[in-house]
């Protein structure tokens, strides 16, 4: 009885979603069975039989399995679509509760400053993408975006880009021509170019794919630059605001030198 790797995957994800190991194993086990008893399940999943009962009870309370109270009890997993929908609902509720709670709290007003040299670091592709969206939506004059990796051109980003107001210059660079074509097709209103920023790529390491992630310059006063860790693929970004911000100044200088085109794509 070997365990296919997608079974392992499913078990892991379920744990990330908050289930205990036994619960996860049992649920996946039931997903492979039309219906099962504690004994069968225990054999299939290596969960000690005597613990199957507890695990199943928890799963039932979460709406992920059904129990038939006969003897022996029969268990079965809720159909996949129903299960995922239920999980979604659960998390949606939680996020909403979080939102409401935090919304009614905010700011213990400390006498706070906003010096100009602030440069903030953040991580995580989702978070960086959300920030990117926010910045793009707030632009009033000019958006310069350089995309360093195909994987960053998500549906969501494309959607945000296509919603940009007509009066705003939208300039998008890529590191390769195929990607440029792709961008131009996805975002017809944009002016695209192939970036002269190849030097931002890993220089000395050989297989160092994609050092730069994205570069976003909004109204020449807000900048976000990200890179992708070659090993973990995690995206990391730094972010600076304000016309006088050091990073922003550097970016403007790059632009002046033509390395980032402004309105005249090379």
Partner DNA sequence: CTATTTGTAATTCTTTGAGTGACTACAAGA
Partner DNA sequence: TCTTGTAGTCACTCAAAGAATTACAAATAG
Q: Is 2 in the site for its own copies (CB under 8 A)?
A: no
Q: Which residue, 204, 185, 183, is CA-closest to 193? A: 183
Q: Binders of DNA among 14-73, rule CB under 7 A?
A: 20-22, 37-39, 48-51, 53, 71-73
Q: Classify burial at 69, counting beta carbons within 10 Å of its beta carbon; exposed 0-12, middle 13-18, buried 19 or more.
A: exposed
Q: Which stretch binds its own copies (CB under 8 A): 90-98, 196-204, 217-225, 250-258?
A: 90-98
Indicate the angle between helix axes 49-61 and 38-45, nearest 10 degrees: 100
DSSP for 126-174, please give it. Answer: HHHHHHHHHHHHH-SSEEEEEE--GGG--HHHHHHHHTS-TTSEEEEEE
Q: How far is the CB of 98 from DNA (least distance, A)?
A: 17
CB 196 within 8 A of CB 259: yes
- Interaction of residue 32 with its own copies, rule CB under 8 A: yes
Strand partners, 222: 218, 241
CB under 8 A: which stretch of 129-137, 139-147, 182-190, 252-260 binds its own copies?
Answer: 129-137
Query: Of these partners, its own copies, DNA, none, which one is at the site of residue 198 (CB under 5 to 8 Å by kind)?
Result: none
Q: With binding defined as CB under 8 A, does residue 16 bind its own copies?
A: yes
Residue of 51, 53, 54, 66 interacting with its own copies (CB under 8 A): 66
**Which of the choices DNA, its own copies, none does residue 37 contact, using the CB cut-off of 5 to 8 A by kind?**
DNA
Contact pick of 22, 23, 26, 28 for its own copies (by CB under 8 A): 28
* Contact mark string toward its own copies, 199..238, x via CB under 8 A: -----------------------------------x----
Task: Give me the torsion for CA of 262, 263, 265, 266, rounded to 10°.
Answer: -70
Any contact of residue 35 with its own copies (CB under 8 A)? yes
């Amino acid at each position: 009885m070997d365990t296919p790797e997608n079974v392992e995957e499913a078990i892991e994800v379920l744990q990330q979603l908050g289930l205990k190991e036994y619960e996860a194993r049992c649920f996946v086990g039931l997903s492979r069975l039309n219906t099962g008893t504690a004994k069968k399940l225990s054999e299939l999943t290596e969960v000690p039989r005597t613990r199957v009962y507890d695990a199943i009870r928890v799963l039932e309370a979460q709406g992920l399995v059904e129990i038939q109270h006969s003897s022996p009890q029969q268990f079965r997993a809720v159909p996949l679509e129903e299960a995922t929908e239920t999980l979604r609902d659960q998390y949606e509720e939680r996020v909403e509760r979080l939102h409401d709670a935090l919304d009614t709290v905010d700011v213990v007003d400390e006498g706070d400053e906003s010096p100009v040299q602030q440069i903030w670091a953040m991580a995580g592709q989702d978070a960086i993408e959300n920030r990117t969206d926010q910045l793009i939506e707030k632009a009033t004059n000019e958006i310069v975006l350089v995309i360093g990796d195909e994987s960053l051109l998500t549906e969501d980003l494309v959607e945000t880009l296509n919603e940009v107001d007509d009066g705003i210059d939208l300039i998008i660079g890529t590191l390769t021509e195929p990607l440029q074509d792709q961008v131009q097709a996805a975002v017809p209103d944009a002016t695209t170019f192939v970036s002269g920023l190849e030097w931002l790529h890993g220089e000395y390491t050989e297989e160092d794919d994609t050092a730069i992630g994205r570069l976003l310059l909004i109204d020449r006063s807000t900048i976000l630059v990200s890179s992708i860790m070659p090993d973990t693929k995690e995206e990391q970004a730094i972010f600076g605001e304000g016309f006088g911000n050091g990073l922003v100044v550097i970016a403007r200088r790059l632009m002046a030198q033509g390395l980032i085109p402004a309105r005249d794509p090379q």
